[in-house]
Structures are given as structure tokens and as C-alpha cells.
Amino acid sequence: MLNKHDRLGGIQYIALISSTIMGVIAISLPNIAIESAHEGALLSTLMAGILATIFAVIMNILGNLFPKKTIVEYLVTLLGKSLGKLLGLILIIYFLSTTALILRVFSDALKGLLLLNTPLEVIMISMLLTAVYLCLNGINGIAKLSELFLPIIILSILLLIGLSSSNFSFVRLRPVLLPSLWQSIKSIPNLSSAFLGYEIILMVTPFIARKKANIPNTLIGIGIPTVIYTLLVIMAIGAFGLKPTQQMNYPTITLARKINFPGAFAERFDIFFVLLWILAAFTSVANFFYMASLSLVRLVTLRNYQPFVYFLAPIVYMLAILPQDLPEIKMVNTYIGYLGLSISILAAVLLILVLISGKKEHENG
Amino acid sequence: MVKKWILISLMSLYIIFTAGCWDRVEIEKNAFILGLGIDSGKDDNLVITYQVALLEAFKGEGEKEKSTQQISIESDSLSEATNTLLRRFGNTPNLSHCKLVVFGEEYARKGIKDSLDYLFREPNLRRITSVCVAKGQAKEILDSEPQMAPSSAMVIDQIITQNSTNNSGIFPFTDIGYLHRNFIRKSDIALVGVKAGKDNVEVLGAGIFKDYKLVGWFNDREVTGQRFILGEIHRGLLTADLPDEMGGRLTLNAYNISAHTIPKITDRNIKIKTKVLVEGDINEVTNPDPLTDTKATLEYWGKAMEDDIRDAIETAFKKGRDTFGVDCFEIDEKIEGYYPKFWNNHGKEWDELFKTMDLDLDIQVKIRRVGLIEP
């Protein structure tokens, strides 16, 4: 089933990681950073990104030790049938919940900002059906789409950051430049949910050409979101100040609205940005959904994942409908952040296990 | 075969769904609200005036018909007034192109805090919507039909955002973003003052707000001084009065002004150090050729301009600090930026601390050119 032609290249690997991470959270990232870390917002974002980089590299090394298997398969090899399958199930639940969360946050934001009268369900079903259609075509479609969308997403965020520089005032940024270290460290768990998505490395390594899933590519893949998110926090605080950003629900959109083209050349830049943000959210949803279906099919050791895609779609929808209002969504976001961190720590533990017990002679390149 | 037909019928069904949008509002059915005016009515009610664009007049040139329609609604709150609009107007109100929010003088004196939440929370009102305070009623401002432009709201918005670069007497950036930034920090603000004439509107000075209640006005000269302290001044026409034999009235066309303010805290004494650099050309002199030596003349005139600017800044500062007791110079934001620990400890007493501040000015004026004839 996997021959040389199916293998993806380095750029697609980078695109997969970056586009899964850069998603819906970009719209409220400065708010989350300041709420949990106050003056330490900038340092906290940077440290959360560095922590994510470390975990991503660990996962990369782990993935390369089992080049033909996804994590659900070598979990069983390493930890035995019952424990391995249990952890595999938790992984699937994690992927499903994250898909549902991203879907819900995205639809909520879109409904509140632009489409007031459209029912929430309609927005969610439209996006979910599109994601289902994409996932049915396999990793090829997802990788190529991520590769296609990533430059557009990066360009639009950089455009936003560049054009907002006229609203930027360095004086407002000064309080965050001398933060308290302890406060920044304490709020890393809250911020790490913004960087979730690098788990795709564990699932996708079998499909990447052998030499391309290496550490430099991983570093680029996770470096892009880190840099962009940090720049975004800098611009938001510089344009608004610390306290106003904390009160805003969607600072990035407000940043886009404040952009002034001289001579009224283009008035509503925020709509342009929202369109491109929809692309970013879509790649995240589709990628996580694919990971969920792929994990499930590998867990039950079958080969064709397409029925599982159809099976999981209603489950995702029902999970996404569950939270009733904004505070509940934030609570789910926090729990999923902790779950994601636990999975990253699990990957690190697995790596240590493998290196200690030297099971790698079981796998050939 | 059956599968193919199912597929085709599903696709046709889908085409029907993708041809529209749930939130679609036809463009003619949109009532674009260009300006929002808030006055006080009887018994704590608000009178909200909406300036609605009449789209036919915006489409092409032709005779000047009425291009905007004003509707005034008396109600408890802003959101309720917008809802009442649906009872009087056949179209859906659309705030996404609102250019201006005007507070009436009487309403501003009572306090504008209550209407601010709607302005901040409404998703369609953008942060770059200009805000101003009217000398008189907000309704008059929106009712006036300026000759050269389709709507008074658009004219005022353009004056505030674009002409403030060239005219130093126009307070530059009062928009909803500025309001929000200062509202969260509980800072005091200044808003552009607007006056309605017979068939035009004029921007005059700025209204000073203490605790979001209007307490007084700055005139043009004081606004210029205020802009120097704020650091938000780029160009302008500056005038100085000299004794008759030394030139009379001197006007400098300053094309490059840079002003920076840095607070300095030393042992409980706060100094505001403002550094001003002005470069300009002489525009007009009443009695030219006072001294035969041109260089000495320019130096003398430069010094005279420096004294004049110093006087303008100090007048504005003293009026803000002593007469009104208001920090409308965003100095608290600068202190928070430069001395965050001090701000954390003493920020709550800013109202008293502000009164003890001193100005420390360093002004340099360089006159570069004198126009076509000798000075």
C-alpha cells in the first residue's frame, strides 16, 4: 500500500505540522496569554513555543525509531496489548475532542462576528462535511492542501502584523519586556493548548520519505507558529496596551479592524483576514479529524479507514454541540490543553523506555 | 447507474444551497448608518440621532439631492434605540460603515459612561470610528448638510483622521479604540469639539473630560500644546507675535515636527521631559526685513517661535493640570510603560500625583527656508 510514490516530501511534512498548529486559536491568542500571565505574556508565549519544540523533536525521534508504524501500533509493541490499546483509545479521544473543540470555537467566533443569523449547526456541518470529504482522500489530499494553504495563511498573518505597525507604540509594550519569571512559567500549561498539533508527527511519520522527517524540518515546522504567535502577541499589546487586550475576546480581529489604509483604499481589512483565518481553521480541523480516524483504524488493526471517517463524523459533531456557552468552551479548552501536554509527556516517557530497553532492533529501516 | 443519478441529484441540491447565504441582506435593504449622535432627553433618556445614507445620492454625480436622512429616537439605551429603528424605517440598520459618533454637549456634561459599553461591545462598530463632542446638540451636527461632501459624519471623520496631520489645532486621534484604551485604564480623555454652522461643520478645539464628564474646552492653541506633549504632532502652522519692529506677526509652516515625552521619576518628584524639534519655512511676516543680517533675523525669529511654543505647551499643561485637574496627555500610560513598578504601587493615586508634576521642556526650532522673497 505504501510505495515510494505515496511518500510525502519534506515541505509537506513542514506544512502538516505548521498548518495543524496554526489554527483557530490565533484569533484570541493575545487575550489568553495576558489573562493567564499578565506581564509575562510575551515570555510565556515564547516559552510555550520552546516547550512545544522540545516535545516535537522528542516525538520526531520516537517516530523515526518506528518508521513504518504509527503510534497506536508501537504503543502496543512497547507496552503490551492492554495498556497499549488503552492509551491508544485515550489518544483517539484526544484527537476527537480537539477536532470538536476547534470546530466549536471556530463556528462560535464566526457566528458572533459575521454570521449572526446563521444557525450554529449549519456552520459546523458545512465545515465538518468539507473536512470529511478531504479526509476520505487520504493523507495525500491533506498534505497537499496543507502545503497549498500554509503560505497563504502565513502571508495573511504577516500582512496583518506589518500593516498594524502604524498603530504600534513601543511605550505600551514596555511592561511586558521585564516580566516575572515565575508567573510566566506558571501559565505555560494554559498557553500550550495554543501550540497543540505537533502530535501529527507521531501519526504521519510512516508516510513521509525516509530522510525528510528529520529534526531540521521539525524545527522549521514548529518554529513558524512560535514566531508568528509571538509576533502577534507583541503587535496586539503594542497596539492596544496590556489591560485593553485582556478585555477583548478577539484581539486579532480588532487588530485587523484598526488597520487604516490612507485615502480609504480598502475599508474592511478584517473581512479579508477572517477569510484566510477560515482556511487556517479548516486545515486544523481536517488534520485532527484525519488523525482520529487513522488512529481508530490502526487500533482495530484494519486497513481501510474510510468507513471510520463516516463513523466518527457524527461523534465529532455531537461533541462539538455539547458546550453550552463561552465559559464552558474555555473550560474544555483548558482540559484539552492538559490532555495534550500529558500525551506529549507520554511520548517523552516512551522514548526513554525505548532507549533504555533497546527495542529498536525489532524495526528495520 | 442509480448511484450516478443519486450523485447528480445531490449535487443539484447542493447548488441550491451554495447560491446564497443565511445572513444575506440585499444591499438596497441595508440602511447604512453613517453617524450616531447621542443627546440627553427628558428624565435620563437618551435621544439617539442616526444619520442614514440614502444610496441614490451616493451612486453618481448630478444635482445635489439630499444624501442623508436623520432619524432621532428617544429611548433608554443605545441598543433599544437601534431596535426601535426597525419600527420606523423599512430597512435593516447596518452599523458597519458608521464613521462618527457625536456626543451632545449637555449629555457629555452629565457623563458619557453609560453609552460606552454599547460602543465597545457591538461587533459591527469598528475601533477606527471617530468620536467627537458637539458644542451644542449632536443632532445639529448630524442635521447639517455640508456643501462639498455627502454627509457631515464623513466630513468630520475625514477632518479628524486626515487633516489633523496638517493642522495642529485638530486633536488627532479620538476614535473608539482611544476611548476603550483609556476607559479600561480609567484615564481621562479629550475629544474633538465640533460646531455646526449654517451649511457646514467646523472642528474647534477639544473637549476635556474628567471621569467621563465634560468639564471644559481647549481652544486651538491649547490643543497644539497638548499635541506636543502627547507626541502626536507632525506638521502645522505655528504663529508667534513679535514686537512690530522685529517682524510683527510671524507664521512658520512647520513641515517636520517631532515631539517626544519621557517621564522621569526621581525621589517622589515626577518630571515630564518633552523634547521638541521643529523644522519649518517662513510663511508670512507682517513687517519683513527687521535686521539687515538674514542669519541674525532667522535666529531671532527661531528663538521667538521657541518661546511661543513653550508658552503654548505650558498653557495647555497648566490648564489641564490646574484648571481641570485632568491628565488628558496620556502621561499615565507613559509612566506605566517606563516605570511599571512605580505604577503598580502608586497608580491608584494618580489623580493627586498628577497635580504635582512639572514640565521640563527642550525646544528647538530651525527655520530652513523663507519662501520666494527675502525675509
pLDDT tens profile B123-158: 888 878 888 888 888 888 888 877 777 788 888 888
The nearest alpha carbon in chain A to B334 belongs to: A171
Q: Considering CB atoms only, which of A243, A254, A257 is closest to B184?
A: A243
What pLDDT does A95 receive? 92
Residue B65's pLDDT band (cuts 50, 70, 90):
low
Q: What's at B357, amino acid-wise?
A: M
Contact (CB, 8 A) for B351 and B185: no
DSSP string, B268-318: TEEEEEEEEEEEEEEEEESS---SS-HHHHHHHHHHHHHHHHHHHHHHHHH
Report d(CA A259, CA A267) in Å as an integer. Answer: 8
DSSP string, B127-168: TT-EEEEESS-HHHHHH---SSSS-HHHHHHHHHHTGGGT-T
Instruction: Please say whether the structural domain A7-357 has been given the CATH code 1.10.645.10.
Output: no
Q: Considering CB atoms only, which of B96, B127, B181 is closest to A241?
A: B181
Q: Which residues of A touch B181 (CB under 8 A)?
A: 240-241, 244
**A241·B123 Cβ contact <8 A:** no
The nearest alpha carbon in chain B to A39 belongs to: B340
User: In Å, what is the CA distance from A122 to each residue of A104, A137, B352?
Assistant: 12, 23, 56
- Give the minimum alpha-carbon distance from A167 to chain B in angstroms, rounded to a whole number: 11
The rounded Cα B14 to chain-centroid distance in angstroms is 49
Q: Which residues, 6 or more positions from A225, have their beta carbon under 8 angstroms from its beta carbon? A: A18, A21, A22, A49, A195, A197
Q: Considering CB atoms only, which of A39, A116, A172 is closest to B333?
A: A172
**A258·B127 Cβ contact <8 A:** yes
Report d(CA A232, CA B9) in Å as an integer. Answer: 46
- Give the minimum alpha-carbon distance from B362 to chain A in angstroms, rounded to a whole number: 20
Report whether pLDDT(B27) > 50. yes
What pLDDT does A364 receive? 44
Query: Which strand ranges, in their side-by-side order, compose the sheet holding B358-369?
Result: B236-241, B249-266, B269-285, B358-369
What pLDDT does B92 receive? 82
The nearest alpha carbon in chain A to B184 belongs to: A244
Q: Which residues, 6 or more positions from A56, have their beta carbon under 8 angstroms from its beta carbon? A: A17, A198, A201, A218, A219, A221, A222
Of A170, A116, A154, which Cα lies nearest the Cα of A19?
A154
Cα B218–Cα B220–Cα B224 angle in degrees, nearest 5 = 95
Q: Which residues of B touch A258 (CB under 8 A)?
A: 126-128, 177
B23 touches chain A (CB under 8 A): yes
Q: What is the ipTM of this complex?
A: 0.73
Report d(CA B189, CA B175) in Å as an integer. Answer: 11
Report d(CA A14, CA A198) in Å as an integer. Answer: 10
B334 touches chain A (CB under 8 A): yes
Q: Which residues of B touch A254 (CB under 8 A)?
A: 127
Cα B338–Cα B342–Cα B348 angle in degrees, nearest 5 = 115
What pLDDT does A93 receive? 92
Q: Which residues of A touch B119 (CB under 8 A)?
A: none
Report d(CA B293, CA B25) in Å as an integer. Answer: 71
What pLDDT does A96 receive? 93
Task: Return the DSSP state at B112.
Answer: S
The nearest alpha carbon in chain B to A173 belongs to: B337
Delimit the domains of chain B by residue range. 27-218, 219-375
Report d(CA A224, CA A320) in Å as an integer. Answer: 28
Q: What torsion, rounded to 10 degrees, do the Cα atoms A349, A351, A357, A358 define? A: 180
Sequence-ordered alpha helix ranges (H) in A300-363: 306-321, 326-357
Of A255, A295, A260, which Cα lies nearest the Cα of A27?
A255
Name the CA radius of gyration of chain A, rounded: 20
How many C-beta atoms surround the C-beta of residue A2 within 10 A? 10
What's the rounded mean pLDDT across residues B335-362? 82
With b for 16 or more beta-carbon neighbours within 10 A and e for fewer, the B226-245 pattern comes to bbbbbbbbbbbbbebebeee
Q: Which residues, 6 or more positions from A28, have their beta carbon under 8 angstroms from its beta carbon? A: A109, A249, A250, A251, A252
Residues of chain A with pLDDT under 70: 1-6, 212-213, 261-267, 359-365
**A117·B22 Cβ contact <8 A:** yes
Query: Residue A325 in 3-state DSSP?
Result: coil
Report d(CA B119, CA B189) in Å as an integer. Answer: 16
Q: Which residues of B touch A257 (CB under 8 A)?
A: 126-128
Interface of A with B (CB under 8 A): 39, 112-119, 122, 171-175, 178, 240-241, 243-244, 247, 254, 257-258, 260, 262, 267-268, 270
Report d(CA A317, CA A314) in Å as an integer. Answer: 5
Report whether pLDDT(B12) > 90. no
Query: Could you tell me how many residues make up chain A?
Result: 365
**A178·B161 Cβ contact <8 A:** no
C-alpha cell at A156: 495573511
- Give the minimum alpha-carbon distance from B161 to chain A in angstroms, rounded to a whole number: 9
Name the CA radius of gyration of chain B, rounded: 26
CATH code for the part of the protein at B219-375: 3.30.300.210
C-alpha cell at B132: 467627537
From the candidates B120, B126, B330, which should be mutated to test the interface with A, based on the most A CB atoms within 10 A?
B126
What pLDDT does A318 receive? 93
Of B221, B187, B190, which Cα lies nearest the Cα of B206?
B190
Report d(CA B231, CA B313) in Å as an integer. Answer: 12
C-alpha cell at B264: 522621569
Q: Give the bridge partners for B278, in sequence order.
A: B257, B365
User: In Å, what is the CA distance from B352 to each residue of B173, B321, B355?
Assistant: 26, 10, 5
- Give the minimum alpha-carbon distance from B122 to chain A in angstroms, rounded to a whole number: 10
- Give the minimum alpha-carbon distance from B325 to chain A in angstroms, rounded to a whole number: 24
Q: Which residues of B touch A260 (CB under 8 A)?
A: 128, 161
Please identify which residue in the block is written with the cell numbers 463516516: A310
Report whether pLDDT(B60) > 70. no
Q: Which residues, 6 or more positions from A181, have their beta carbon under 8 angstroms from its beta carbon? A: A40, A43
Q: Considering CB atoms only, which of A116, A171, A243 is closest to B337?
A: A171
The nearest alpha carbon in chain A to B20 belongs to: A118
- Give the minimum alpha-carbon distance from B285 to chain A in angstroms, rounded to a whole number: 34
Q: Give the bridge partners for B48, in sequence order.
A: B38, B73
What pLDDT does A148 receive? 92
C-alpha cell at B293: 543680517
Of B132, B52, B44, B152, which Cα lies nearest the Cα of B95?
B52
From the candidates B11, B13, B22, which should be mutated to test the interface with A, based on the most A CB atoms within 10 A?
B22
Report d(CA B243, CA B248) in Å as an integer. Answer: 5
Contact (CB, 8 A) for B187 and B333: yes
Q: Which residues, 6 or more positions from B82, have their beta carbon under 8 angstroms from its beta carbon? A: B48, B93, B95
What pLDDT does A164 receive? 82
Mean pLDDT of chain B: 83
B337 touches chain A (CB under 8 A): yes
What ranges make up the beta strands (E) of B170-267? 189-196, 201-210, 213-218, 236-241, 249-266
To the nearest 5 percent, what fractions of chain B are helix, strand and coil? 40, 30, 30
B123 touches chain A (CB under 8 A): yes
Delimit the domains of chain A by residue range. 7-357
Instruction: Report the number of secondary-structure helices (H) and strands (E) in chain B.
Output: 13, 13
